[in-house]
């Protein structure tokens, strides 16, 4: 798991976290593993468009990218709160989640660069590859960049 139970202390009181993740005795479910997976898959889906994220999920402690760590916590805490009534979800966690998703959308379009290695070229079925090297803003669309200025 990328997020450990002690990592949540920066976002939520552990007593409250324990109440949220508590499951009935007859249900075999590890809620922390589930919400951790949701968080890492969500970030990987957005950031994985342009960046190599797979190696990041194996890191622990201070070796982690703390922006990804922050986003993972925002998503995981929000997903944990999905187990209770909507009226009981604190507004700050909803806002943190919404801000995180906006940032991830920017990352996917290249408008918010990350301090991660770029994703390697993908091979496509016809034998070519897609160029996803580099960081920063990507040109999207069919129009090539002009060769002259006006």
Domain extents in the chain: 5-130
Answering whether pTM is above 0.85, one says no
pLDDT tens, residue by residue, 118-128: 887 655 455 55
3-state per-residue secondary structure call for the chain: CCCCHHHHHHCCCHHHHHHHHCCCCCCCCCHHHHHHHHHHHHHHHHHCCCECCHHHHHCCHHHCCHHHHHHHHHHHHHHHHCCCCHHHCCHHHHHHHHHHHHHHHHHHCCCCCCCCCECCCEECCCCCEECCCCCCCCCCCCCCCCCCCC
Residues of the chain with pLDDT under 70: 23-29, 121-150
Q: What is the pLDDT of residues 34-44, one digit of tens each?
A: 999 999 999 99
């Amino acid at each position: 798991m990328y997020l450990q139970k002690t990592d949540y202390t920066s976002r939520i009181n552990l007593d409250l976290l324990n109440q949220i993740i508590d499951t009935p005795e007859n249900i075999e479910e590890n809620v922390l593993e589930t919400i951790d997976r949701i968080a890492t898959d969500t970030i990987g889906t957005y950031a994985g468009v342009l960046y190599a994220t797979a190696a990041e999920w194996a890191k622990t402690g201070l070796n982690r990218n703390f922006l990804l760590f922050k986003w993972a916590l925002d998503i995981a805490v929000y997903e944990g709160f999905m187990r209770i009534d909507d009226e009981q979800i604190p507004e700050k966690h909803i806002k943190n989640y919404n801000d995180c998703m906006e940032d991830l959308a920017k990352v996917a379009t290249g408008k918010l660069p990350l301090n991660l290695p770029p994703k390697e070229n993908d091979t496509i079925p016809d034998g070519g590859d897609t160029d996803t090297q580099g960081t920063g803003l990507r040109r999207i669309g069919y129009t090539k960049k002009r060769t002259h200025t006006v």
